[in-house]
A and B are shown apart, each in its own frame.
Chain A
Amino acid sequence: MAKIIDIIQRESCFQPGSTLCAGCMESIAFQNIGKITDNGKKTIFGLGTFCGEVSTLQFPNPVAWGRGESTPEDWTKSFGILHHVFESAPTITEAIRDTVDVLSSVGAIKSDIQTISMSGDGGALAIGLRSLLHTINRQARIVSFVLVNEVFANTGFQYSPSASLGSDTSTTPATELHPGNMQPPLDYLGLAVNAGAGLVAQVSPAFPKYFLKVVETALECKGTAVIFIPSPCITGWKFADGETVELARLSCETGFFPCFLKKKGQPAEIKFVERDAAKRPPVEHFMGPQQRFQHLVRKNKETGQFEVRPGKEAVVEEIRTWIQTKLDALYRMA
């Protein structure tokens, strides 16, 4: 395992020039992933359709992912990129892995190649759940990143199966009748674990050291490694500039997106979040700064604190219960 200081000093293969929104967590994640994967091996990415693909491979803007003008001389730093259809980034990446393995076994490829798939949560957990689970079940040796922004950002911020309870999306708008999304999110961590993944993690670049460690571990994994990256979406969640990392941190500490790591056959590790609700920052701290929860939480003009809107206590209580249930389930794996 490389030293963190060395990783930080690497040139990331994820080059500037993407058209991701300023303040998008995905670009922070990609920069970090770019550094960690830039370890002397070549990497091939299979991308589904999501912000991280649409906004990073776009002509005529300068291209990210280490191509374009700033392509490093050293071939090991250049990348194979395959933009696949929306619904099966993991399966196409699995096939790339198989090809690489065959070519290696006959000596056509001498050095190891890393195979990585990237999808949004809509792509991986709605239409692409089949692809993800079956790839895991086949123990394909790929790392599958899922950038979880809780919405289908590309098509206009509709509900995705990971959408938090109470969130306002284009297809679950908060109205007088509905308090936003009321469908409890899919237990994607549990699904990936139970499908037999070699490693399942939920990590955020808001915890940089831990993030680097987990991704490095995933690259070594002999089975399928699935890494969910909670990705505050400035445009869809509607929060102020500069709050991306802080919200990512709060999303873990309040229990919305607990940091989680489970290697197959070993107990899970849950970090940066307390199991005891009394010791966690209140959910209002995470919800308050985001307009998508504005119908539930407001800022008290006098105290400057976020508070539950009168009449919305029951919904917020449901959110708290959901979080506790989820955390308890994760702790049972620990």
Chain B
Amino acid sequence: MTRNQLHLALIGSGGDGVVASATMIMQTAARMGLYGIMTQSYGPQIRGGESAAYVSVSTDPIAVVGDHKDLVVCFRFSDVNPFRQEVAMAADVTLLHPKEEQADLPEVLKAKNLRRIPVPFQELLAAEGLPEIAKNVMVFGIILQALGWQKKYGEDCIKDIFSRKSDAVISANLRAFDIGYHHLKEKISLPTLSPKQVVKRELISGNELCARSAVDAGCRFFAGYPITPSSEIMETIYDLLPKVGGKLLQAEDEIAAIGMVLGASFGGVPAMTATSGPGLSLMTEMMGISSMTEIPAVIVDCQRVGPSTGIPSRAEQSDLWHALYAGHGDAPRAVLAPMDVPSCHRTMFQAFHLAETYQLPVLVLSDAIIAQSQQIIDNLETTGLPQGKRQTFQGNGGSPYLRFSLAHTNDPGWNGVSPIALPGTPGTMHTIAGIEHNEMGKISSDAKQHEIMNRKRFRKLDYLAEETASWFHIFGNPTAKHRVVAWGSVASVLERYVTTHKDMALFVPEILSPFPIAALQDFLAGARRSSIVEQNFQGQLYHYLRSLGTIDGKTEKICRSGGLAFSNDELDRLFQEGGA
């Protein structure tokens, strides 16, 4: 059997350390030169509840965890139930479970050629006098042997993880690992993955990468408020900002957070915040101030199931309309979306580029899957990414400074942007106001003035749209009969799907607003069948594209609520049924 991928699931409860063991496997894979992706699944409870970790490793880059598991470690059959909708077994799956497990095999763990390997987890630990806390390291050892990976890589990984601990801690963990590794006498019959190149790669989550790339793209101020699944952005950037002279503030709520971001940005510093649905709702009013006062701001929304508290730890694409339309008044903004972990890098550069260049709010729609997946990635290039800087006021030949200058209105090359004077620049004292204003920033209730200013603010979007017309990807054969459109983490599932469905092509926008309309029209031209696939109940992208006139009633709407990623089997079925 030649295969280049392996799919693992670890299922347990708090205390089993499934996520820790899975992370060690990923770190080892990264050391060996393999690629991989890991997602976790858990309820809202903090400790003691069931949790699962899914790992896929591959010799080639991989962005979506595999549907059918080859190796499953289950610490208690009773823990499986919450995950029954999201794990499926390969026909010849191997199951490691506690030796003392008495319960009947749960339905989802059954498979045609199931191989069961009972492991005396507790006895192994007890025999060596190791504490419960060492269990995850021991399990890591067992899995490494099962996969036939070299022991040395595992040992290096452990030394690395515990590098700041005492020698005693390191040696106890090495012992736990050793016991695990030698428990199985040999590798179990799973395909061996040989890395194409032995090089150490990086393991990173979408949230961590968002934070890091934001700083690389020039972000120097962050204010936020914790919320699942976005909090790791704040936690990561906390470490990064002080090193580059930046600052972080944890605000008392999201309203204050975005207020701080606007204040910092007004002061001339590229600034951002990150949140999820409930927080975005609270930020909405001030997104309008950003549009109105033309203060750049980057807002990352790691979408989770909504409305209200929804399902905090699970992804959905239901904030699209919010991002596109929320707020009162005509408020220009740009909306971007990464499709997987590595693309967060490019998206954050794009976000700061657009915000700073066009002086408006830029929303980045990530989601719980992208945010919290850990992926092994190649080095990321920064050259070639857009890195526009804010146009600052450089003097005006003696005429007074006009913050919202319309001097170039009749110049067809003018993109609507007026230079910003940093506070304190001599001779540039001005007002900015959320109330409608004139060129000077003085407030005005003149209806004509309002129309003129709306034109100015939306003029920026015309030029922005021109610049971003090529911000999309096409996967598969562009002349295929069936053309599909998807965005965000759903797009990466479809990217995988089209590799095995040669009659399909996939269009993935990097920017959702302004949408690359012309490119989509080109893509759809000549299609026999077209579908919009998304993970929300109403078909938000579908209706948006219809409102833009880009698709007509013949295009299928394939959508369902979030909470669970699409699997290939489900996509087969959905495409067979055809959409609404």
Contact = CB atoms under 8 A, between A and B. Distances in A.
20 contacts: A19-B48, A21-B46, A21-B47, A22-B48, A51-B46, A55-B45, A58-B44, A58-B45, A83-B309, A85-B278, A86-B309, A122-B226, A127-B252, A152-B226, A154-B46, A156-B226, A171-B250, A173-B238, A177-B242, A235-B46
A170 B235 contact: yes
Given A127-B253, A161-B252, A171-B235, A54 B228 contact: no
- Which 4 A/B pairs are nearest by Cβ-Cβ distance? A127-B253, A19-B45, A155-B226, A21-B47
Most A CB within 10 A of own CB, among B239, B248, B252: B252
Interface string B41-68: 0011111110000000000000000000
Interface string A36-79: 00000000000001010011001010000000000000000000
B253 A126 contact: yes
Given A20-B45, A171-B226, 17 more contacts: A19-B45, A19-B48, A21-B46, A21-B48, A54-B45, A58-B45, A85-B308, A126-B253, A127-B252, A154-B44, A155-B226, A156-B232, A158-B231, A158-B235, A159-B250, A234-B47, A235-B46
B45 A156 contact: no
Contacts of A234: 47
Interface in B233-276: 234-235, 238-239, 242, 248, 250, 252-254
Nearest to A236: B46
A171 B252 contact: no
Of B81, B250, B253, most buried by chain A (CB within 10 Å of CB) is B250
B324 to A, nearest CB: 23
Contact of A55 (B46, B81, B227, B308): B46
A156 B253 contact: no
B515 interface: no
A129 interface: yes
Contacts of B278: 85-86
Contact of A155 (B45, B49, B231): B231
Interface of A: 19-22, 49, 51, 54-55, 58, 60, 83, 85-87, 122, 126-127, 129, 152-156, 158-159, 161, 170-173, 175, 177, 234-235
Contact of B250 (A85, A86, A158): A158
A86 B281 CA distance: 13
B309 A49 contact: yes
B35 interface: no
A60 B232 CA distance: 28
A216 B45 CA distance: 30
Nearest to A159: B250
A112 to B, nearest CB: 30
A244 to B, nearest CB: 13
A170 B231 contact: yes
A22 B252 CA distance: 29
From A19, A49, A153, A159, residue with most partner B Cβ within 10 Å: A19
Contacts of B228: 154-156
Contact of A85 (B48, B227, B248, B309): B309
Interface in B465-503: none
| B-side interface mostly | loop
A204 to B, nearest CB: 21
Contacts of B47: 21-22, 234-235
Contacts of B254: 127
A155 B308 CA distance: 16
Given A155-B226, A159-B250, A171 B48 contact: no
Contacts of A85: 278, 308-309
A126 to B, nearest CB: 4
B349 interface: no
B177 interface: no
A240 to B, nearest CB: 12
Given A127-B225, A158-B231, A177-B242, A54 B250 contact: no
Nearest to B15: A22
A154 B235 CA distance: 15
Given A155-B226, A171-B238, A19 B49 contact: yes
Contacts of B48: 19-22
Contacts of B308: 85
A117 to B, nearest CB: 16
A55 B44 contact: yes
A275 B250 CA distance: 33
B46 A153 contact: yes
Contacts of A54: 44-45
A85 B309 CA distance: 7
A53 to B, nearest CB: 9
Contact of A171 (B43, B234, B242, B309): B234
A16 to B, nearest CB: 13
Contacts of A173: 235, 238-239
Nearest to B228: A155
A50 to B, nearest CB: 11
Nearest to A153: B46
A87 B253 contact: yes
Nearest to B82: A60
Contacts of A158: 226, 231, 234-235, 250
Contacts of B46: 21, 51, 55, 153-154, 235
A154 B49 CA distance: 13
Contacts of B238: 171, 173
A279 B486 CA distance: 67
Query: Which among A20, A158, A235 has the greatest number of chain B C-beta atoms within 10 A?
Result: A158
Nearest to A55: B45
A86 B255 CA distance: 14
A324 to B, nearest CB: 26
Contacts of A58: 43-45
Nearest to B224: A171
A161 B44 CA distance: 23
B224 to A, nearest CB: 9
A85 B232 CA distance: 22
Contacts of A49: 309
A170 B239 CA distance: 11
B530 to A, nearest CB: 39
Contacts of B227: 155
Nearest to A85: B308
A175 B243 CA distance: 13
B434 to A, nearest CB: 21
